[in-house]
Structure 1
């Protein structure tokens, strides 16, 4: 029996494992369950592909996208590994051939769609087939808190009971705290080994630019990167086709990619891009999952993504080779209305609420008040001690002001209302609003009532967002966005720490002459 390292070198062409691949592989080979949270490009696939070669039986890989399955199977087959996929794109004859190989134990890995796996007929087949392991890829799809929740994934919660002796691994590149907890609970992985790798991609320079004349801005950006490969994301199929056509007319090697195109056309675009025959792909979110092209030098978001998870995953397709790369977001407030309208069309009220919360988090990231990397990492629960030095905020820093008193007022008010209310109610209390809810709850009698009465709602809202980005506050999305204090808030609340924040660059014409934060009644601090 060869070692996992030998398989890595001989089958996959890599000299050594990246952390923590070796530890994950050892756990699976030993038969233990695993939960993996690793960023895009960190090598998650190897974590189950290599154990599949070192355990008896066939490894089942649950995957959400047909294109991802095909890419993985093609790459494995080229490496001499027995792999196949089983999904709706197969003809009846092709499906029979795959099942025959499965029953003859001629497959190391079988990629399968969740609805096919969980059908009664296929589960009955698996009684006769030895299984090496079960891998749930893109595991955030299991959770209603995930940015790409898929109802068909919910049934996967039965796998742990149906196959108690088969090691199960769940993998995702994008999951906030609530999503992680939900995935673990739904898949029965409470006893699993957990591996969380840093989300930081220090080689990517993050930039957000106000959207004015977007195509002209895009052209100006591309004109200085003529020989580089890049991906341009847009919100709709129509816009994707328009942008791609305009770029092609101007001499760029560009093509469109979206789910409305024929399978063959999408595949041709993808293969041309991977082979460097095509320099630019203009795409909807349908493009990119599983794409392992190391030399993508930039990702441009022509429109505002609907959530930070998608933005992180899509920008993570740049700079996989570790060399400098760029992520440019064109941010226009009109995009917010469009995205909100698309989300609001959903039929599931709870899902609409979750998605609107995630959209608000995306908007707060785009506003130029915090180091982009700190905001991005903070969203995923990974605090960054200092500004990154490699984003537009750091390279062109705004004016700063001493926000210590403002922050103490806000954090104290969150504490005084019992950490049971969202930002809107906290701001009402700070501003001394005697509305029905404030009076009914008796919050007009709190020591923090009206201590920020001369500060605009917009200023307080911006401060809430910055304190969330910096890890002093945590919005509990599972509990309707209730604001909660983190441990980091304690030294700030008790007067042991000062806080300097950025002033908004844009003038707020709607503020009606209200003064910036910090000019209301002084807060009397009580040490506890």
Structure 2
């Protein structure tokens, strides 16, 4: 990286950049797209912030949460010499929005933070295009991937929006990007010959442990007692909104300053909890998965799961919020096998066939309809129409174009065929979610090194047991894990394979007696190596 820019980054932000950060910065300054897959707390935000010191124009930062956007703005404001940053979102008063747009259009603001749903508005895209966009940064980019654990259909518009903005360079960032997810991020965002930099998924400072339970009441008591005895700030993740209140009350009785958090709270109440936790006024937040994405608090000492997460991806994302200061952190999962049934319930569901049919019929065969006009055209509520439209886009039936939603080239001609295509896609997604739950069970019930399992799930490798998880401490971790390495050469991580029944897939990890593969139509599957060899189940492609 240019010496002058390196010095300026130190002068403005006080940062000494790591080589991997500089590599990505160099790429975007050379107008090359880049995908950065880096662990939580590794300084992904510094990449676009430093690039903003050298680029001429507006830096659009797409972020899924208003609280995260505001935290990033506050962080930039803490550096007086940093370029100005503003947020554009639906929670801001009209006067504040007008001031933000004035700053963007006059060149006074360099960084613009907004949610993907803002970019579905034609006027927002046009105003940004006129202002001149130098870089589009997509934070939490795994949200754009159908294979990702936190798929958000609002992200599907981004590829088309990037083109409308004049096709500036694209920087995508995530902490959880397995090989299939990385490939789809590149495809969905229309990235061209991107630099793909994955620095590894290991967080060695985090101790991983699982506590098994058979009785729900005993589990609840164990969670309250453990968290009540832990020092420092932490997060307790639960499955339902009601449990946020129940566990928070129990922790208050244990003497902790605890607060509940879930998506059903009013925006100002959620923001109050977020800020109180950030500022040290609350010790423990008891939350559903709605809390924590991009949370900017380096001294979280523990993350406790009172309920099993829906996937290993979600688990990794959530425990990664501990120990971001690189000091020791604790990740405890309180596991009861019966809780997996609740996750299966959450994994099911999708738009109804009647809603899919109404939206398909509302889009003319030889024209388009603006998303804002879709509720009136389909006779559905805005939320229902939006979900159905996103499902049809995800299935390749509809596409987002400059003038609105249109039928994709080669799309089914009839509504019935369109509904079948979307339903089949939804069934694929449900199978994938089921497979993620099965992998979560394997993680919770394994006797092998948990860190080796976790890294293998993401296609990363750890040659030896980590020594910092409960199975290593107890001595149950299998130290012969992939000991001879004889199968690694034949089925290495990221190898593309073809299965006789499940079709195309990507090898995620190879152990001494089994292989884990992600299949596009069937999700994660664990295959016995003896079956793979003797029955010729897989071929390299």
Q: Determine if the TM-score, normalized by the shorter chain, exceeds 0.5.
A: yes
Aligned position for 2:233: 229
Aligned position for 1:210: 212
Alignment of 1:485-496 (within 5 A): none
3-state DSSP class of the match of 2:109? Answer: coil
In the alignment, which of 95, 101, 107 is matched to residue 105 of structure 1?
A: 107
Aligned position for 2:68: 68
In the alignment, which of 250, 260, 264 is matched to residue 264 of structure 2?
A: 260
Offset of residue 125 of structure 1: 2.0
Q: What is the TM-score normalised by the length of structure 2?
A: 0.75
d(CA) in 2 for partners of 1:27 and 1:403?
38
Alignment of 1:22-37 (within 5 A): 22-37=22-37
Offset of residue 286 of structure 1: 1.4
d(CA) in 2 for partners of 1:8 and 1:318?
27
Offset of residue 399 of structure 1: 8.4
- Which range moves more in the overlay, 377-386 or 272-281? 272-281
Contact 2:58/2:112 (CA < 8 Å) preserved in 1?
A: yes
Contact 1:383/1:470 (CA < 8 Å) preserved in 2?
A: no
Q: How many residues align?
A: 444
Contact 2:129/2:164 (CA < 8 Å) preserved in 1?
A: no
Offset of residue 483 of structure 1: 5.4
The reply on whether 1:249 has 2:246 as its aligned counterpart is: no
d(CA) in 2 for partners of 1:357 and 1:209?
22
Aligned position for 1:189: 191
3-state DSSP class of the match of 2:244? Answer: helix
Deviation track 1:108-129 (CA, whole Å, cap 9, x = no partner) reads 1001111222322222223321
Aligned position for 1:342: 346
Q: Larger Cα Rg: Structure 1 or Structure 2?
A: 1
d(CA) in 2 for partners of 1:44 and 1:399?
33
Aligned position for 1:79: 79
Contact 2:447/2:478 (CA < 8 Å) preserved in 1?
A: no
Deviation track 1:257-294 (CA, whole Å, cap 9, x = no partner) reads 11222222222222222222221111111111221212
3-state DSSP class of the match of 1:20? Answer: helix
Contact 1:370/1:466 (CA < 8 Å) preserved in 2?
A: no
Offset of residue 403 of structure 1: 10
Contact 1:422/1:481 (CA < 8 Å) preserved in 2?
A: no
The reply on whether 1:393 has 2:397 as its aligned counterpart is: no
3-state DSSP class of the match of 2:520? Answer: helix
Aligned position for 2:422: none
d(CA) in 1 for partners of 2:468 and 2:475?
11
Alignment of 1:18-417 (within 5 A): 18-80=18-80, 81-163=83-165, 166-211=168-213, 212=215, 213-225=218-230, 227-347=231-351, 348-398=426-476
Aligned position for 1:479: 521
3-state DSSP class of the match of 1:3? Answer: helix
Offset of residue 98 of structure 1: 1.6
Contact 2:228/2:255 (CA < 8 Å) preserved in 1?
A: no
Contact 2:439/2:524 (CA < 8 Å) preserved in 1?
A: no
Offset of residue 400 of structure 1: 6.3
Deviation track 1:354-404 (CA, whole Å, cap 9, x = no partner) reads 222211111111112321001110011001111111101111123869999
Contact 1:346/1:352 (CA < 8 Å) preserved in 2?
A: no
Q: What is the TM-score normalised by the length of structure 1?
A: 0.77
Contact 1:61/1:109 (CA < 8 Å) preserved in 2?
A: yes
Summarize the Cα distance change of 1:107–1:468 in structure 2 as closer, same or farther, 3 Å threshold.
same
3-state DSSP class of the match of 2:293? Answer: coil
Offset of residue 194 of structure 1: 1.3
Deviation track 1:322-357 (CA, whole Å, cap 9, x = no partner) reads 111110000101110011012123343333222222
d(CA) in 2 for partners of 1:130 and 1:401?
56
3-state DSSP class of the match of 1:45? Answer: helix
Offset of residue 4 of structure 1: 3.0
d(CA) in 2 for partners of 1:474 and 1:401?
19
Contact 1:378/1:470 (CA < 8 Å) preserved in 2?
A: no
- Which range moves more in the overlay, 96-105 or 475-484? 475-484
Contact 1:474/1:483 (CA < 8 Å) preserved in 2?
A: yes
d(CA) in 1 for partners of 2:228 and 2:516?
41
Q: Name whichever structure is richer in strand by fraction.
A: 2
3-state DSSP class of the match of 2:44? Answer: coil
Deviation track 1:202-257 (CA, whole Å, cap 9, x = no partner) reads 011100111241222123323542x3211111111100111001111232111111
d(CA) in 2 for partners of 1:191 and 1:202?
32
Aligned position for 1:8: 9
Deviation track 1:445-468 (CA, whole Å, cap 9, x = no partner) reads xxxxxxxxxxxxxxxxxxxx9976
- Which range moves more in the overlay, 477-486 or 123-132? 477-486
Summarize the Cα distance change of 1:493–1:419 in structure 2 as closer, same or farther, 3 Å threshold.
closer
Q: Which runs of 5+ in 1 are unaligned?
A: 424-464, 495-521, 524-528
d(CA) in 1 for partners of 2:151 and 2:108?
33
Offset of residue 422 of structure 1: 6.3
- Which range moves more in the overlay, 100-109 or 151-160? 151-160
Alignment of 1:414-493 (within 5 A): 419-421=499-501, 472-481=514-523
d(CA) in 2 for partners of 1:12 and 1:475?
42
Offset of residue 86 of structure 1: 0.6
3-state DSSP class of the match of 1:362? Answer: helix
Summarize the Cα distance change of 1:408–1:166 in structure 2 as closer, same or farther, 3 Å threshold.
closer
Summarize the Cα distance change of 1:484–1:273 in structure 2 as closer, same or farther, 3 Å threshold.
closer
Summarize the Cα distance change of 1:484–1:312 in structure 2 as closer, same or farther, 3 Å threshold.
closer
